[in-house]
Each structure stands twice: as C-alpha cells, then as structure tokens.
Structure 1
Amino acid sequence: MLLSRVAERAYWAGRYLERVQSTARLISIYDKLLFDLPRSIKLSWYNLVSINKLDHAFNEHYSKPDERNVMRFLINDRNNPSSMVSSIQAARENVRTTRDVFPSDVWYLINELNHYIIDNANQGITRKQRHDFLNTVIRGCQQILGVLHSDMPHDESWCFFRLGKNLERADTTSRNIDAAVAAILEIEDMDEAINSRQIIWLNLLRSLNADHYFRRAVRASINGADVVDYLICNKDFPKSVTRCLSNLVHTCSLLPKSDDITQELTDIQNSITAEYHSDLKGQPLRDYVNELQLRIINMHQKIYANWFPAWD
C-alpha cells in the first residue's frame, strides 16, 4: 500500500512537470501569434496572465502589464507559484522526496532541467534568445516524460503521477481555448478580423501540438467550431479534454478506495460532454470553458478528499 504523502507527491510531480511544459509552449506560440497577425492588431501580453487567473498575483508586484513584466512573471518570478521556475522547483522537490518510486534517471534529468531554467531564465524574458530557451525546456520535459513512461513501473505511484498529469493537461487545454476565444473577441470589430481568426485558431492548435493531427482527423480548412470540437471532444488526441478526463477516470479505477470517486468523476465527465454544443462561440463558449475549469477544480478536490485527506 502506497503512503498517502508519497501518492500526493507523485500526483503533484505530474502536475508541475506538465505545467512547466505547457507554460513554455504557450509563451512560444503566443510570441509566434503576435508575429503572424497584421501589425494593426495589438493583442496584449497580459492575456497570458488573465487566462491563468493570476491577475491579483501579477498586480501585487507589477505596475505595468507589458511584455517584459509578463515574461518575468511567467518565467522567473518565484512569487508566482505557477511560473516556470517555481513549477520546476516544485516538481524537483516532489521527485526528491519520493526518489524510491521514480526511475533514477528522472532525478538526474529533472535536476539538469531545474538548473537550466534557473540559470537561463533571463533568455526567455528578452526576445532574442526566447525561442531557443523555450524549445530546450519543452524538449527537457518531454525527455523526462519519455523516461517515466518507458522505465517507471505502472504501479500505484505511476497512477497518481498520471492523475496529476492528465488533470493538468485538461486544465491547460481549456485555458488555451479560452485565450483564443478572448483574442478573437478582442479583434472582432476590426477590418482584419476574418483572416486573423484563422491565424488564431491555427496557433491554438499549435500551442497543444495538435495542428498536424487536426488536419488528419478533420480534413477541412481550419475554423473555430471544428478546432474547439476537436480539442474538447476528440477521443484519440492525448491533450483533448475528453481524452484527458477518460484517462483520469480509468486511472482512478485502478487504485484502491476508488469505486465512489470513479463514479463521481464519471458523472462530472459526462456532464462536461453533455453541456458542450458545437455551435457555441464567443462569450457563451467562454462561459462554457469557465464552467469546465470549475469542474476540473472539483475533480482535483475530490481526488484530494479521497486519497490525501490527512494532507489537505
């Protein structure tokens, strides 16, 4: 039987490692999006703060929501628990305190990535070296995940790690959709809005590394309804909300004390699917995504209450 504190740390290692990669990918794609859009369209870097619901934390320490401050906040600010530096250090600490359940190579790799991010964080703040810095971080995260998948026994520790990873992925996908819809609403009255919408939807797919697989599955020109439908409902793409939540429910079913929570999470998953309609767009779509994020938080709370009550 796995100790509750070990299970919890494996869970958070999965969440924080996924968060490092998703933050790096989101910054990289947003950078490319601003480059691709017409010069007359000025999207704010502050959108990256808002979609993560970090407005209060940002405004406590920064007076100006410009690119440099947003980059510093998302990459190198230790006061922000979701920054890349904070997340990689939290992932490292969770692995360090449970080293006996993780492959030894993962401990070395996560140390290397931790030192790289801390030592080179300033490269991500300025544009000149940002691309190389973010790509190195993404590759580092993928290398660690690859070693975990190939070398870690698929026991209870793996299941809790997988719970954290999939919950974080579902949350990331929902927030990226919200960011795209917010950007489209911001430019909807501009003359360039029609062409710019397609650019935004394409970059949304790229932010999740989904553009290639979307084209294979849909075989049609990119439009908002198809993109959102794919990222929420597709059963095969690893980062779609439906696939992440299906993985979550299945993983729960493999763990002890799981009958009640598996049914509860299944009910939440079914409600998310039932309430989604492909004709949702604009503010109603943002309202749906906001409710989706609340349901994901509810899933997290149920996981905590079921398996980590002494540490809540």
Structure 2
Amino acid sequence: MLSRVANSIYWMCRYIERAENVARFISVNLNLLLDMPSEKGKHWEPLVMITGDQGRFEKNSPDYNQEAVIRFLTFDRDYSNSILSCLSAARENGRSIREIISSEMWEHLNNFYLELADGSSLTMAMEDPHRFFKIIQMRSHLFTGLMDSTMSHGEAWNFARIGMMMERADKTSRILDVKYFMLLPQADLVNTPIDNIQWTAVLKSASAFEMYRKEHHLITPRKVAGFLIFDSQFPRSIRHCISKAQICLHRINGSPPGSANNIAEKRLGRLKADLEYTDIDEVVDHGLHEYLDSLQTRLNIVDGAIGTTFFNLKPLIEASTNEQ
C-alpha cells in the first residue's frame, strides 16, 4: 500500500472520531445543564479546555456561553478541530482514496459534510441542540459501521482502526483529565448529589455510564478513573483502545504478538504493557493529572512513530531519551 493512501485513511478516521467525540461532549454538557442550571458559563469552559485551545477561543469571545462555545467547536472553519473542519478534512482524505474505501462510505461521508456545511445546520444547532448533536453522533457511528461491514479487513482497514483507536484513547484521557482536575478540588461537594451528577457526566462523555454501573455500584472519582483508563473490555477505555491498535499494527506488519519489528510497534507495545501492569491506586498515589499528562505525551509519540514508520513523516514531538 502507498504511504499516501495509508496516511489518508488513518487521518480520515481520526477526524471522524474527533468530530464524534466533540459532538458527544457538547451533548452531555447540554444534559448536565438541565440538572445544574446555575453558573452556566462554568460548565461550558471545560469543553474548550479539553481541546487545549482556550487562547484561540478567547481571542474572539471572552465569554464561555453556550452559543459562543457551540459556534467555536462546531462551525468555526478557521479552527482546525471544530466538527465542520474535521469533517472537511476527513472528506478530503476520503476523496483522495475513493478507490480504496467503499462507495457507501464515500457517499455517506460526502453527504455528512455537505449537510453540516449547509446554513440550516447552524440554525438547528442553536434552536434544537440536543437533537442536532445526537444526529452528529449517529452519523459518525454509521460511518464506522459502514467501514466495518462494506470494506475488506485488510491493510487499509487496519490503518483506519489504528487511527480511530489512537484518537479515542487521546480524547478519553483529555475528558477525564479536565473533569478530574476541575471537580476533585471541590472538597465540600464530595459525595453530594452534585458530585454524583458531575461524575455521571464524565462517564456519559465516554458513553460509559451503563457499562460502568454493571461493574461498579457506586460512582466515585477513583473508580471512574480506573474504569476509563484500565478496563480491558470497555471499548472506549484507554487500555482497550491501545490493545486494539496494537493488534491492528501487528496485522499490518505480519509480526507475531509479543514482538516488535519497528519503532512504532516498540512504543505502542511499551505503552500497552505499562497500562496492563499499572493500577488506579498506583496512579492516584503519584498524581492522576501527572499520569494523564504523561500519557497524552506518549500517545503523541506513538502517533509520531506511526507517521515515521509508515507515512514517511517526521513527528512533531521528538521522543525523549528514555523512549529510545
């Protein structure tokens, strides 16, 4: 497979996953406001914090109100991580590899972008945001379903899956990091109804609420963090995503499990092993925020190694000496 093709399908699926994650975060936040109507601006700021682009947002809008945040995260063409920008980038990548993906995938992706780019979408997002962002999520899930059911599960499909899993792991770490950082210091709210509502929102941001409750009866910060990071079976936990990405990487290289034939396999395998042999008690004792911050850096390093190994791209973040 040409490196250009592999790069395009990898990023096409990362962008689709990114758009779906942003839509879910906004949708969960809208529902959270129904239970916590006071200090609404306070509840919109974390959505921008997750992206790490507060400075860019504040240049155009100093107030973190619902309309400003939705415009920024959904329709701002000048912001590369807005839903519209992500779908535009995914569509361009998909257009360049139409001979690789199925016609159903391309038609859905093209229509998805065109409908969002239509002026009526902005009106709907402002007048009925609950329905609008649910539609975004469902269309993203439909794209994933079309990919799994209409595309041969060969090299291209495996690159697509790696892109999805890497993006999903990154976004799960970011939503957990921001929410934990903002909620934990409020000692007077611990074990109160408000505390439970907020941590329920954290779980729903990762579509994890029902699966978490099947395994744990009580919602506590430690258990929520442990579930979203280390659960081996939940499809949006960081450990599960990294494990699936490694399986796809081995399939592409034809290397047996437990081996590492290139720098991408080495770094991904090391990250997977660390997740398997670390538990939430150890993480909390050393600092959850510090752990998640380091994890995000390592995910970027793995992404750079994949680019170097398969796409002939130099990573933006150079590996530290202890990663060699």
Q: Scaled by the length of structure 2, what TM-score is found?
A: 0.88
Shift of 1:189: 4.9
Superposition RMSD on alpha carbons, in Å? 2.3
1:64 maps to 63
1:228 aligns with 2:225: yes
1:5 corresponds in structure 2 to 4
* Counterpart residue identity of residue 210, structure 2: H
Q: Which residue of 2 aligns with 1:91?
A: 90
C-alpha separation in 1, matches of 2:19 and 2:44: 18
Q: Give the aligned partner of residue 273 of structure 2.
A: 270
Partner of 1:130: 129
**Structure 2 residue identity aligned to 1:302:** A
Secondary structure of the structure 2 residue equivalent to 1:100:
coil
Residue 38 to residue 49, structure 1, CA distance change in 2 (3 Å): closer
Distance 1:105 1:271 in 2: 39
Q: Deviations over 1:155-177 (max 9, x none)?
A: 11111111100000001111111
In 2, distance between residues paired with 1:98 and 1:205? 36
Q: Distance in 2 between matches of 1:179 and 1:196?
A: 17
The CA deviation string for residues 262-310 of structure 1, in whole angstroms up to 9 with x for no partner, is 1221112223454553365599222211111111111111111111115
Q: Does 2:312 match 1:309?
A: yes
Q: CA deviation at 1:87?
A: 0.4
Displacement of 1:183: 3.2
Query: Deviation string for 1:238-261 (max 9, x for gaps)?
Result: 111000000111111111387222
> Which residue number corresponds to residue 257 of structure 2?
none
Query: How many residue pairs were aligned?
Result: 308
Q: Give the partner amino acid of 1:259.
A: N
**Corresponding residue for 2:319?**
none
Alignment correspondent of 1:203: 201
How far did 1:36 drift?
1.6
2:237 aligns with: 240
Deviation string for 1:81-121 (max 9, x for gaps)? Answer: 10000001111111111011111011111111112212244
Deviation string, structure 1 residues 125-174 (Cα, Å, up to 9, x no partner): 52x31011111111111111111111110111111111100000001111
Q: Distance in 2 between matches of 1:236 and 1:153?
A: 25
Tell whether 2:28 aligns with 1:26.
no
**For 1:163-214, what per-residue CA distance to the aligned partner results, in whole angstroms no more than 9, with x for missing partners?**
100000001111111232133146x155687222211111111112111111
TM-score for the superposition, normalised by structure 1: 0.91
2:155 maps to: 156
Give the conservation status (yes or no) of the 8 Å contact 1:71–1:124: no
> What residue is the counterpart of 2:296 in the other structure?
293
Structure showing greater relative contact order (alpha-carbon pairs closer than 8 Å, 6 or more residues apart): 1
- Once the two structures are TM-superposed, the CA of residue 217 in structure 1 deviates from its matched residue by 2.2
Distance 1:285 1:38, change over 3 A: farther
User: Are residues 192 and 155 of structure 1, via their aligned partners in 2, closer, same or farther at CA, if it must alter by over 3 Å?
Assistant: closer
Query: Is the 1:225–1:279 Cα contact (8 Å) retained in structure 2?
Result: no
**1:123–1:133 CA contact under 8 A, matched in 2:** no
Q: Secondary structure at the match of 2:252?
A: coil
Identical-pair percentage? 28
- 2:215 aligned partner, one-letter code: A
Structure 1 partner of 2:73: 74
Letter in 1 for 2:183: I
Alpha-carbon contact 1:75-1:124 (below 8 Å) kept: no
